[in-house]
Structure formats: C-alpha cells, structure tokens
Amino acid sequence: MTGAYTDLSVYDYPRTACPLCAGESIRTKYTITRYSLPFNIDMCRRCGFMFMNPRFNDGVVSSFYNEDYYRGNAEYSYYDEREAEKFARHVWDKRIKVLNRYARGGNFLDIGAAFGGLMRAASRYFTPYGIELSPYAGTEARRRFGSAVHIGTLDNHPFSENFFSAITMIEVIEHLPNPKTAVRECYRLLKKGGVLALQTANMDGMQAKLLKDRYAYFMPGHLSYFTRKNCTSLLHDAGFSRVKVFLPVEFGLLPKLMKSRYTFTSWLHYLRWLKITRYHLLSKLHYGNFAATSSMVVYAIK
C-alpha cells in the first residue's frame, strides 16, 4: 500500500488468489493514481488475469452508477446515451444484425441495458429484455419496455433457465465483482445453441501493453481485465461449446464513423475520422495472441 491510500474504508479486503483461476501467485502490476480514489491492479502469474486489488467495496462501486454517470457528468462516467441515440443506433443496429446471424430471433437479453438503446435495436429481430443496475437509467428503460426491464443485477432477476437465444454484455463484464458467476448465469439462461456476446478490452493487445498504467481503460469502475486467452478459457469452463473472437469488433468501420458524429460540433471534427479509421485498420493487425490494439468482442455459443 502506498501513501496514496488515505481512506482505507473505501476498499474491500485484498484478495490473495486470482479470482479467475485461483492461482496464488499474484503481483501488483500498476498503481493508478489519476482518479480521486487510487487503486492497484494486480496480475495473476498463471493466467494473466488482471484485477483491481483490493477493489472498492460494494457501497463505493454502486455509488459510481448514479445519475451523473449516465448523464456523462461524473469524473468517471458513461455518456448520455439518449442524446447520442440517433448516432449510436448505427452501431446498435449493425451489432444486432450480426448477432441475429448466429441467434436467429427469439428472446434477447441486454445486461447493462442503460436506457434501452440496444434493446430497441434488438426488437427488429428479437423479443427484447434488459437488466439494469441503476434505478435512474432503468426507470427510463422501463418507460419504453415495461416489465421486460429488470432493475437489479444478474443475482436477483426473474428470468428462467433456457429462455434466451441471445445475451449481450457490452462493456459490462469488467464492471462486475464476480465475472465468473455472471458468465455461468448467462450460460444457464441461454437455450442450447444460444449466443452470449461480450465486449471488453484485451489486455494482451499492444495498446494496453505499451500504454501500461496510462491506458485509459484503467478506471475506478473496472474491476476485471481480461486477455483474449483467459476470457476464452473462462467461457469454455462455463460450458460454452464454441468461442469466437472478433478483433476489433464484430462489424466494420462505417457504423463507428457514423456513431462518432454525436460529439461533432464543427466540420473540422470530421478530421477525427482519420484517427478512427487508423485505429480500426491497426486493429486488423493480429496473429495468434498478438493484437495491435486492445478492442475485442467475444461470441460464446452454448
């Protein structure tokens, strides 16, 4: 522990074993001090899993997901999905279209549904359901989808086994205190042949490796950091029969460019498309466990 840890009451107890593989050889990899609450990132020598250790306690973690988080106003926050919806739809629609090639209709569940943007896109092919932790965002999603939205978590939802043909966790798994239990629960909820689609960072990507502790993905709400390899193992261990990894994401460049326009206020901002295009093309550079960037989307089929 460094001197930066002035208020110990915000932390949970420190883990002495890897939460993913139970390996007991773990070491502190980075200390992140750029936020008002500093935190350590530990790494397992056996499976390469990185995790916040000690992590913030449940009270602190849940305090992150308040109204300011969903309005994009907090120090550490999401963006206001409602203002961006008309642009973000390009990504959501394409994402659902690809998912439907694997799942072929049926019941769809978005975990971390926020205001229900992805659910709305899914309604084109699927019957959409959602789980949203935040009463602020979840109440709004309920206004659109009624009781199909559960305000709560994967630990206390009303959905039954073998009910869904597709489940999405888009940039959610890294926020969960127990990703292993979450993935197993998704497996239980999916019917045979159903698909779990998840997006998270690949810490084996050169982007993460070169930026080290400066990598922007190290945020107070991110408790778990996977690699392509240990994420694949996690899914196989949960019972999934087939795992497919898309680098950087499961769709092409165009929807990303269209989505990016939500921040543009001048024509000059279109220059940002050069940066996005460069990133997308760089992401195509991968071989085996090597990947130039750290974006990934993983499909797991039951």
Q: Which of 32, 37, 41, 47 binds Zn ion (CB under 5 A)?
A: 47
Contact range with Zn ion by CB under 5 A, out of 43-51, 236-244, 256-264, 293-301:
43-51
Structure-token match 């001048």, residue found: 266
**99 contacts: CB under 8 Å, gap ≥ 6:** 108, 122, 166, 168, 195, 197, 250
Contact range with Zn ion by CB under 5 A, out of 6-14, 21-29, 149-157, 259-267:
21-29
Contact range with Zn ion by CB under 5 A, out of 46-54, 60-68, 120-128, 200-208:
46-54
Nearest to 170 by CA among 276, 80, 99: 99
Nearest to 246 by CA among 234, 236, 232, 259: 232
Does 144 help bind Zn ion (rule: CB under 5 A)?
Answer: no
Q: Which of 11, 32, 39, 49 binds Zn ion (CB under 5 A)?
A: 49
Check: CB of residue 159 under 8 Å from CB of residue 150: yes
Q: Which of 46, 82, 157, 261 binds Zn ion (CB under 5 A)?
A: 46
Check: CB of residue 107 under 8 Å from CB of residue 87: no
Does 243 help bind Zn ion (rule: CB under 5 A)?
Answer: no
Q: Which of 12, 21, 258, 301 binds Zn ion (CB under 5 A)?
A: 21
User: Least distance (Å) from Zn ion to the CB of residue 26?
Assistant: 8
3-state secondary structure of 285: coil
DSSP readout, 257-302? Answer: HHHHGGG--SGGGGGHHHHHHHHHHHHT-EETTEESS-EEEEEEE-
Choice between 21 and 243, CB closer to Zn ion: 21
Does 233 help bind Zn ion (rule: CB under 5 A)?
Answer: no
| Phi (first) and psi of residue 189, to 5 degrees | -75, -25
Does 180 help bind Zn ion (rule: CB under 5 A)?
Answer: no
Check: CB of residue 51 under 8 Å from CB of residue 45: no
**123 contacts: CB under 8 Å, gap ≥ 6:** none
Choice between 187 and 226, CB closer to Zn ion: 226
Contact range with Zn ion by CB under 5 A, out of 17-25, 142-150, 173-181, 197-205:
17-25
3-state secondary structure of 192: strand
Contact range with Zn ion by CB under 5 A, out of 15-23, 178-186, 187-195, 197-205:
15-23
User: Least distance (Å) from Zn ion to the CB of residue 52?
Assistant: 14
Does 18 help bind Zn ion (rule: CB under 5 A)?
Answer: yes
User: Least distance (Å) from Zn ion to the CB of residue 23?
Assistant: 4
DSSP readout, 7-43? Answer: -GGGB-PPPSS-TTT--S-EEEEEEE-SSSS-EEEEE
Structure-token match 């973000």, residue found: 88
Q: Which of 44, 119, 197, 249 binds Zn ion (CB under 5 A)?
A: 44
Contact range with Zn ion by CB under 5 A, out of 14-22, 69-77, 128-136, 232-240:
14-22
Check: CB of residue 96 under 8 Å from CB of residue 118: yes
Does 23 help bind Zn ion (rule: CB under 5 A)?
Answer: yes
Does 20 help bind Zn ion (rule: CB under 5 A)?
Answer: yes
Residues that bind Zn ion in the complex, under the rule CB under 5 A:
18, 20-21, 23, 44, 46-47, 49
